[in-house]
Amino acid sequence: MEFVFRVSNYDAPELEFETAELLRRRLEARSRQVMPGMWKVTDKLNAHAAKGPGIGKRRYRVYGVILIALGIFALVPGLMEPRIPSLIVTGGFAALMGVWCLCLRERRPLQPPASCRREAAALLKARRETDWDALRAEVRFDEAGWFVKTAEGESRTAYEDLRSVFETERLWLLVGGTEQALLLQKKDLVSGEAGDFLPYLQGKIINQSLPHKGEST
C-alpha cells in the first residue's frame, strides 16, 4: 500500500484551530501515558458529564474542583527542583480539564489551551513562510517508511521513529520519537484513500511495539 502527498501551501484559516486541536490531543495522549490512574478518574467523571443536562451544575462544579486539585497536586512537586516535566505536563492538563468542567456547566464550547494555540501559530507560521508550490515537495508512505522529496534534496524516515498520529477534518499530525511533527493536509493526498491512511499508520505503530522474533515480552 502506498500514499503520496504533494504538499501545497497552508493557506486555509481553519487550519489554525485544527492544528491547535491536534496539539491538544497530543498533549492529552502524553498525559495519559504518564499518569493513567488519574485519567481513569477523569474518564469516569467525563462519562457522567456526558449523560446530559440532568447531571446538574453542582456536579460539574465538583468535578472541576477535584480535577483542578489533582492538577495542583501534580504541579507542585513537578515544579520543585529538580523539575519533573512529566508531572508538569500531567498537572497542567488535569487543571485544564477542571476548568473545562467548570465551563461545561455554563455550556461553553471547549477550546484548545493557550499553550497549544501558541504552538499551533508558530508551527503554521513556519509552514506559511515556505512557498511549497515552488519547493515541489512530495511525501510518500510505503512499506519501508516515509520518503520526503523536494527540489533541495531527499530523505527517508523509518516507521520505528513514528510514535503517534492524530486526525482532524482537514489535517493529519504525525509525531516522532523526538517530538518532531509532520503536518499533512488531506487535500494534498494524490495517491491512496484518505480513509485508509490513519489505520495504516496506526498498524505500523502497533507492529513496531510488538516484540520481534527472539525477543520476549
Alpha-carbon gap, residue 147 to 157, rounded angstroms: 6
Q: Give the residues across from 173 on adjacent strands.
A: 166, 183
- Does residue 171 sit in the same domain as residue 200? yes
Task: Say if 156 falls within a structural domain.
Answer: yes
- Does residue 140 sit in the same domain as residue 187? yes
Cβ neighbours, 10 Å, residue 29: 13
Residue 6: band (very low, low, confident or very high) from pLDDT cuts 50, 70, 90: very high
Task: Say if 217 falls within a structural domain.
Answer: no
- Does residue 108 sit in the same domain as residue 122? no
- Does residue 87 sit in the same domain as residue 167? no
Task: Say if 53 falls within a structural domain.
Answer: yes
Give the SS3 label for residue 139: strand
Interval 77-102: pLDDT, tens: 666 677 667 667 777 777 777 776 66
- Does residue 93 sit in the same domain as residue 158? no
Q: Residue 82 has which C-alpha cell?
A: 529538580
Residue 212: band (very low, low, confident or very high) from pLDDT cuts 50, 70, 90: very low
Q: Give the residues across from 142 on adjacent strands.
A: 145
- Does residue 130 sit in the same domain as residue 100? no
Task: Say if 216 falls within a structural domain.
Answer: no
Which of 83, 114, 145 is the endpoint of a domain?
114
- Does residue 169 sit in the same domain as residue 155? yes
Q: SS3 breakdown of the chain: % helix, strand, coil, rounded to 5?
A: 55, 20, 25
Q: Is the pLDDT of residue 162 over 50?
A: yes
Task: Say if 102 falls within a structural domain.
Answer: yes
| Averaged pLDDT score across all residues of the chain | 79
- Does residue 32 sit in the same domain as residue 102? yes
**Whole-prediction pTM:** 0.68
Residue 216: band (very low, low, confident or very high) from pLDDT cuts 50, 70, 90: very low
- Does residue 52 sit in the same domain as residue 91? yes
Cis amide prior to 82 (ω within 30 degrees): yes
Which of 56, 79, 114 is the endpoint of a domain?
114
Give me the domain span that covers residue 60.
23-114
Which of 99, 114, 129 is the endpoint of a domain?
114
Task: Say if 177 falls within a structural domain.
Answer: yes
Q: What is the pLDDT of residue 51?
A: 59
Alpha-carbon gap, residue 8 to 159, rounded angstroms: 24
Per the structure, the count of domains in the chain is 2
Cβ neighbours, 10 Å, residue 83: 10
